Amino acid sequence: MDLREMFPMKLGFGGLRLPTNGEKDHIEYDKMCEMVDEYMSAGGKYFDTSFIYHRGKSEEAMAACVVDRFGRDSFCLSDKLPLWAVDGKIDLQSVFDVQLKKCHVDFFDFYLLHNVNRNDTDFIEKSDAFEFQQRLKREGKIRFAGFSFHDTPEMLDKILTEHSGLDFVQLQINYYDWLSNYVQSKKCYEVAVSHNMPVVVMETVRGGGLSSLPPAADQLLRNVQPQSSASSLAIRFAASLDNVFMVLSGMSNIDHVRDNCSYMRADKFKKLSDAEYETIQQITKIIKMNKKINCIECGSCSEVCPENIEIDKILSIYNDSQLFGNYNFPEMHFNIHVRGNSAKKCIKCGACQTVCPKGIQIVDNISAICKIYDK
Ligand code: SF4
Ligand code: SF4
């Protein structure tokens, strides 16, 4: 079955930002049930959770609000195995069994290795995690095997080349990160296409950052589409990509569900028009005008650095953390994209600063930033 044909509505119900009473691990089931009902009545079928979301409570919430209330064939459940959280525990089967139990199911429709990246390669090899997934598939314990991913396009290509039997990949894709120098949504998407690998999209609205725009960007949207929410542009951007079969949205209340479903239900969805793509480009420019450090991501500094420090990525991760808060996990991105090539290696030769077209005080800036993230 081609996953790209499987779901008439491409909107997925994310399990990372469920309604709570303020405490991450206290999910409000009555509110979530109302949201689930609204989503399913609009044609939604895809629920996404993980071993670690909401301090381990997201899986239980999916059990109570979805699995226990609807027939098993009326929804798809996607769960993830966080390799870093079970580090040292090579017996992945016992983790998987706990997940089935917490979710009140005897199989998962979609099962992912969570956040596969270069730092996990040793553990993946030791635990034979990709083969573990294939065994689960043969045993009928999962229907589709995939992994979520935040590393580089080159790393994605390597994994997809080296491992067979994978059915999909989950990528961070949104219009702000499309040309980012570290997330590289566009290039990662193109790698997935080149492997004919269907894609699930995560961080569609960048942890909510693209749901509430700076005033000038919001005004631009109002001028073009007075009735549309900022989220609609971000969600439809991802859903307009042909190789994408599911777009996750971290909906936190019933209004989010109503808004998302209003333009994503099968009978309403429209791909973005050329004019909307143009609006998105302008909005991105406006968001970037508020960057703390005026780096244009030209990369010249990193090219001349004798210590191979990832200068431009360090600055971008920091700038994005200031624009979007910590919702998009700057530490995680730092660990993946910079680790080992941080300011700790700087010999203060000054070569980077001589080529910077913006005259940025690079040495001081990267040193201060790396103190935050390089733990
Ligand atoms: S000053 Fe530091 S960061 Fe800049 S080029 Fe020299 S070693 Fe690299
Ligand atoms: S040279 Fe300057 S503008 Fe270009 S990436 Fe480096 S810090 Fe940014």
Residue whose CB lies within 8 A of the most ligand 2 atoms, among 302, 320, 355, 358, for a mutation test: 358
Q: Take atom 6 of ligand 1 and give the residue whose Cα is closest.
A: 349
pLDDT of residue 258: 97
275 CB near ligand 1 (under 6 Å): no
Rg (CA), the chain: 21
Residue whose CB lies within 8 A of the most ligand 2 atoms, among 360, 361, 362, 363, for a mutation test: 360
Break the chain down into helix, strand, coil percent, rounded to 5.
50, 15, 40
Q: Take atom 8 of ligand 2 and give the residue whose Cα is closest.
A: 295
Instruction: Give me ligand 1 centre to Cα 123, in Å.
Output: 33
Instruction: Give me ligand 2 centre to Cα 321, in Å.
Output: 18
Q: What are phi and psi of 198, to 5 degrees?
A: -60, 150
Q: Take atom 5 of ligand 1 and give the residue whose Cα is closest.
A: 305
297 CB near ligand 2 (under 6 Å): yes
Give the ligand at the shortest distance from the Cα of 341. Answer: 1
Instruction: Give me ligand 2 centre to Cα 260, in Å.
Output: 37
Residue pLDDT, tens place only, 253-293? 999 999 999 999 999 999 999 999 999 999 999 999 999 99
Task: Report d(CA 248, CA 156) in Å as an integer.
Answer: 20
**Residue 296 alpha carbon, nearest atom of ligand 2:** 3
Instruction: Give me ligand 1 centre to Cα 267, in Å.
Output: 55
Closest CA to 69 of 45, 36, 39: 36
Percent share of the chain, pLDDT over 70: 97
Closest CA to 39 of 68, 75, 71: 75
350 CB near ligand 1 (under 6 Å): yes
Per-domain residue ranges of the chain:
3-280, 300-373
293 CB near ligand 2 (under 6 Å): no
303 CB near ligand 1 (under 6 Å): no
What value does the mean pLDDT take over residues 96-108? Answer: 97
Q: Take atom 6 of ligand 2 and give the residue whose Cα is closest.
A: 301
360 CB near ligand 1 (under 6 Å): no
Its CATH class, for the domain covering 3-280, is: alpha beta
| SS3 assignment, position 200 | strand
Residue pLDDT, tens place only, 204-227? 999 888 998 999 999 999 988 888
The confidence band for 40, taking pLDDT boundaries of 50, 70 and 90, is very high
Task: Report d(CA 120, CA 109) in Å as an integer.
Answer: 24
Task: Report d(CA 332, CA 77) in Å as an integer.
Answer: 25
pLDDT reading at 112 higher than 90 = yes
Q: Take atom 2 of ligand 1 and give the residue whose Cα is closest.
A: 346
pLDDT of residue 113: 95
353 CB near ligand 2 (under 6 Å): no
Percent share of the chain, pLDDT over 90: 86
pTM above the 0.85 mark?
Answer: yes
**Residue 353 alpha carbon, nearest atom of ligand 1:** 4
Is the separation of the CB atoms in 53 and 16 below 8 Å? yes
pLDDT reading at 181 higher than 70 = yes
